[in-house]
Amino acid sequence: MLGRYIVDFLAPRAKLVVEVDGEVHAHRVAADVRRDRDLARMGYRVLRLPRALVQERTAEAVAQVAAALAEGG
């Protein structure tokens, strides 16, 4: 839990939140934008990955997380 939000994955030292978005997120774009904005105000970056990417091309998803961690300083 981060503030009032439950996040999928959190790297607290890197201030990175990783969200794995399934189909439901296509219908809640505005809510996700608000959530990302609130998390950014708390100092966190949000990386959103499609569920299909995580399930079908896991190495690519891991590479994106690694890149986000590397650029986070």
pLDDT at residue 23, rounded to an integer: 80
- Tokens representing 48? 């959103």
Confidence of residue 54 (pLDDT cuts 50, 70, 90): very high
Average pLDDT over residues 46-66: 97
Chain mean position to CA 31: 14
pLDDT tens-digit map of 1-49: 888 999 999 999 999 999 999 887 677 889 999 999 999 999 999 999 9
**Domain residue spans in the chain?**
9-72
CA 49, 69, 11, 40 torsion: positive or negative? negative
Q: How are the residues of the chain apportioned to helix, strand and coil, as percentages rounded to the nearest 5?
A: 55, 25, 25
**Contact 14/72 with Cβ under 8 angstroms?**
yes
pLDDT at residue 73, rounded to an integer: 57
If one compares 70 and 22, the residue with the highest pLDDT of the two is 70
